[in-house]
Each structure stands twice: as C-alpha cells, then as structure tokens.
C-alpha cells in the first residue's frame, strides 16, 4: 500500500481529488466507485471546484456508490442517494443515468445485490474505488468478520457504527437503520485501483491495524494489503500510530517526477 501523509484533512482531500481528476482527464468515461460519510466531503468539494474553475468534466463518468441504508425513503436527507445528490452529483455535470447506488428499498434484496454486481461488470468494472475507513476498520459497510471474498449483500450494522453515524441523525440512535446493502470486500478488491482516506485521531488505531497489522477479517481494510494498486491518504492525526511514518514521508518526498501527483 502507498501511504500518503498530509498535514491536514484539507491537504489530504486535495491530493485525493488530484488523483481522481488525473484519472478523469486520462479516461473521461472512467468508472468511479464513490463513498459517503464525512471523510470524502473535502475531496468532493475540491472536485466540484475543479469542475467549476478548470472544466473537469464528469458527463461521461459512471459512478457506483459503496452502500446504502435499507429502508430509508429516497428523499430522506440521510439516504446515501440524497447525500450524493447534495454533496456531489448536483454540483458537477454528473449524468444521472450513470450514477448508481444500491436500492435500499428493493423488495427483493438478494436480487438487488446481484443486479448491482452485474451492473458493475456491465460498466467494465471500477477503475478507482474511493473509500473511508470505519473506527472498527470497516470499508463500505463491511463490518469486522465480513468475508474477505464477499460480494454486494445485506449487512447488519454494528452498534459502534450505528453510534458513529447517529451524528447524521441529530444524535438520535433510534433513527439509524440496522441494515444496509454494501459492496462486498471482494467487490472492492476487484476494482483496478483503491484510494482510502482517513482523517482524525479517532481513525489512528484502525489505520495502523489496516496498514501495518496482519490481514484479518477483524479489520476488513487490512485486506487492501493484497490489492495491487492501493493508496491510503491520511492526515497527521490518523497517521499517528503508524510505526513507519517516517518511511512513508520519505517515499512521498522522493517520488520520481513521472509518479508525482498533480491534476
Ligand atoms: P466517516 O465514515 O467518513 O463518516 O468517518 C467512514 C466509514 O464509516 O467508512
């Protein structure tokens, strides 16, 4: 895994947006895997700025989101469909027909999961998957003990994840759904490139375990050690428990010119 440590979440978000923008410019019809939560918001803001000021064009980009709550009405402000519309899709020239999010209201959940997997394959597979990491090491909503080969399916959220996400529901835990549809760890691993973001001291343990710990279903993000092209962008606080921080800084400072990240 390539670990990119930036001083602040803002700086990390700019690096992440530059990595995504570079792909969109090189391959205007690329397939992006997208994420929700607090962490990617700065990246979306920077991509929106690039769209407005530099003409970064999303018209031909196809997107697949990682997950969706089961049972929340589409118009609920915390459905991931609503989150993505507000924080990204509506603010760039995304083509609605090319934006995909699992249908958390599907009557037949297993059929919806199979349909989602098939849609990813039909689009040619995901070129780059953006990820956050949960305080418990989850990616998407693949909670600890998720099969590392899993595909899109229903999951039951842990109490910790429900409590972490209660802040989006006015702190009212009772409103946080118990179930979600999430891409599996195997679905994420099938993407051609993975870009995981983690900001803040509350992510430091999960990041250290994912990057430097053993590969284990108890920290699903740790399987990214097996991905051929995985980058992890962290701020100083989220990097604080990485034993080899100095080495990661060294590597980033000595990248050959052709590998340097800029939009
Ligand atoms: P967060 O969530 O970005 O809101 O911290 C990350 C995650 O749960 O994957």
Do the beta carbons of residue 180 and residue 140 sit within 8 Å?
Answer: no
Closest ligand 1 atom to Cα of 139: 9
- Please give the structure tokens belonging to residue 231: 């980058």
Instruction: Give residue 6's pLDDT.
Output: 97
Please write the tens of the pLDDT for every residue from 177-209.
999 999 999 999 999 999 999 999 999 999 999
User: Are 40 and 197 within 8 A, CB to CB?
Assistant: yes
Q: Which atom of ligand 1 is nearest to the CA of 37?
A: 4
Those residues whose C-beta lies under 8 Å from the C-beta of residue 150, and which sit 6 or more positions away, are 142, 184, 185, 186, 187
Judge if the beta carbon of residue 63 lies within 6 A of ligand 1. no
Are the C-beta atoms of 234 and 4 separated by less than 8 Å? yes
- Is 138 catalytic? The answer is yes
| Catalytic residue list contains 112 | no
258 falls in which pLDDT band (50, 70, 90)?
Answer: confident
Rg of the chain taking only CA atoms, in angstroms = 17
């Amino acid at each position: 895994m390539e670990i990119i440590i930036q001083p602040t979440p803002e700086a990390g978000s700019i690096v992440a947006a530059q990595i995504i923008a570079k792909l969109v410019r090189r391959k205007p019809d690329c397939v992006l895997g997208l994420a929700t939560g607090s962490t990617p918001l700065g990246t979306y803001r920077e991509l929106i700025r690039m769209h407005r000021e530099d003409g970064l064009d999303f018209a031909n980009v196809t997107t697949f989101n990682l997950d969706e709550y089961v049972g929340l009405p589409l118009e609920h402000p915390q459905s991931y469909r609503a989150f993505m519309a507000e924080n990204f899709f509506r603010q760039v020239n995304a083509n609605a027909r090319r934006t995909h999010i699992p249908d958390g209201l599907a009557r037949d959940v297993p059929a919806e999961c199979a349909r989602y997997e098939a849609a990813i394959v039909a689009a040619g597979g995901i070129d780059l998957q953006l990820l956050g990491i949960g305080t418990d090491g989850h990616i998407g909503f693949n909670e600890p003990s998720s099969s590392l080969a899993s595909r899109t399916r229903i999951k039951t959220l842990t109490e910790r994840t429900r409590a972490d996400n209660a802040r989006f529901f006015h702190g009212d835990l009772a409103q946080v759904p118990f179930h979600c549809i999430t891409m599996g760890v195997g679905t994420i691993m099938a993407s051609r490139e993975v870009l995981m973001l983690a900001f803040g001291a509350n992510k430091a343990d999960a990041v250290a375990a994912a990057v430097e710990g053993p590969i284990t279903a108890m920290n699903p993000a740790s399987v990214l050690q097996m991905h051929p092209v995985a980058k992890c962008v962290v701020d100083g606080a989220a990097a604080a428990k990485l034993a080899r921080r100095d080495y990661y800084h060294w590597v980033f400072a000595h990248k050959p010119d052709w590998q340097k990240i800029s939009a």
